[in-house]
Amino acid sequence: MSLKGIFPIDKWIFRSKSIMESLSAEELERLFADMVEQTYKKGQIIFRENNPAFGIYYIQQGKVKKYKQDRNENEHIIYVANEGELIGYHPLLSGNNYPDSAAALEDSRIAFIPRDAFLSAMEWAPALSKHLLSALSYEYSVLANSLSIVAKHSVRERLAISLIVLREKYKLSENDTSSVAINISRKDLASMTATTEENVVRLLKELKKEGIVGSLGRTIIIYNVKALVQMTNYQ
């Protein structure tokens, strides 16, 4: 089922895919020549908050969580990045360190692009700068929207929003209308929802009784996304 017209999913999705999509085939080939591919196991750290930013990362396969840690080292997931997205590009123009951390949510194949190579590409591919700035600007609006949700919505409503966003990330295609399976730990889902793991387990049990979701091990299966949309009470 498409969310078009019933839920503003774009307010939760970054636009970093547009950065690479702005390049021609020849420009991509030139940039890819400087890429170094690496395989990351589920849970493996890609970069850490406050570490020097030596480059950016292009997700070729898999999913990555971007998160920050509080003083007690509790994770707070701020975004789940998908295949085709770039991560770690915030400090590219400012020269600052990484503002957050990133780790693989599942086994992933990710290419590293050295900072100098990407900055050079911005010179010989003018569209790259335009789309990078656009993506950065839109990302701030997505993060601001996510923060406002924590203040305005109940835990049940926030969980519904998190499941809707994850459903978009785990769909096999844009037109996928079947039940969608989300393979994520209850701990990560709680971090994304800004609540406790106990709350997530309890609420998922309620949603299973209502026939909205199902489960197979830690995999959550979304049966009725329209019911989730109604749960969000999103205006």
In a domain, 3, yes or no: no
Confidence band for 37, pLDDT divided at 50, 70 and 90: very high
Separation CA 141–CA 133 (nearest Å): 13
Domain stop point among 119, 149, 179: 149
Do 165 and 210 belong to one domain?
yes
Domain stop point among 96, 122, 149: 149
| pLDDT higher at 42 or 235 | 42
Do 108 and 121 belong to one domain?
yes
Separation CA 178–CA 171 (nearest Å): 9
pTM: predicted TM-score of the whole model, two decimal places: 0.89
CATH number, position 50? 2.60.120.10
Residue 108 pLDDT: 98
Do 26 and 123 belong to one domain?
yes
Domain stop point among 149, 180, 201: 149
Q: Does position 1 have pLDDT exceeding 70, yes or no?
A: no
Per this entry, what is the length of the chain? 235
What is the full DSSP assignment across 144-185? Answer: HHHHHHHHHS-HHHHHHHHHHHHHHHH-SSTT--S-EEEE--
pLDDT tens-digit profile of 70-100? Answer: 888 889 999 999 999 999 998 887 889 999 9
Amino acid 159 reads L
Domain that holds residue 175: 154-232
What average pLDDT does the chain have?
A: 91
In a domain, 4, yes or no: no
Confidence band for 12, pLDDT divided at 50, 70 and 90: confident
Identify the weakest region by mean pLDDT among 59-63, 80-84, 139-143, 212-216.
Answer: 139-143
Closest CA to 187 of 87, 77, 69: 77
In a domain, 2, yes or no: no
Count how many domains the chain has.
2
pLDDT tens-digit profile of 58-67? Answer: 999 999 999 9
Do 86 and 165 belong to one domain?
no
pLDDT (average), residues 203-224: 95
Do 118 and 168 belong to one domain?
no
Do 140 and 216 belong to one domain?
no
Residue 176 pLDDT: 56
Spatial strand order of the sheet with 180-183 comes to: 180-183, 219-222, 213-216
User: Sign of dihedral through CA atoms 85, 91, 93, 95?
Assistant: negative
Contact 102, 55 (CB under 8 A): no
